Amino acid sequence: DGGITQSPKYLFRKEGQNVTLSCEQNLNHDAMYWYRQDPGQGLRLIYYSQIVNDFQKGDIAEGYSVSREKKESFPLTVTSAQKNPTAFYLCASSMFVGRRETQYFGPGTRLLVL
């Protein structure tokens, strides 16, 4: 059953702590994305990756980092530099990067600050 999985469903961060959100896909997609969702603001792009070992900053990359060591995996680290990390984080993937490409989304991870 193909799809995108994200874990954990809920994540709690303490002050000064880095936390990592997992995203895995078995759709054989080259492109993967991380979006942040805040109430009333839609979704904003944090990072995207077109291919293994390559990734690009999106609109709100400050305070976040990513890696793409495997085609299936695109983990997101929320660093202590991100001062307002409380949000719902969505991972997506598409066959390629481009205007015609349909993006498919995972179930999301909600990050809360203790």
Partner 1 sequence: AQSVTQPDIHITVSEGASLELRCNYSYGATPYLFWYVQSPGQGLQLLLKYFSGDTLVQGIKGFEAEFKRSQSSFNLRKPSVHWSDAAEYFCAGGGDYKLSFGAGTTVTVRA
CB nearer partner 1, residue 33 or residue 74: 33
Nearer to partner 1, 19 or 46 (CB): 46
Q: Shortest distance, CB of residue 105 to partner 1, whole angstroms? A: 4
What DSSP line would sit under the chain, residue for residue? ---EEEE-SEEEE-TT--EEEEEEE-S--SEEEEEEE-TTS-EEEEEEEEETTEEEE-TT-TTEEE--SBTTB--EEE-TT-S---EEEEEEEESSSSTTPPPEE---EEEEE-
Residues contributing to the site for partner 1 (CB under 8 A):
4, 6, 33, 40-45, 48, 50, 56, 58-59, 90, 92, 97-108, 110
Nearer to partner 1, 97 or 113 (CB): 97
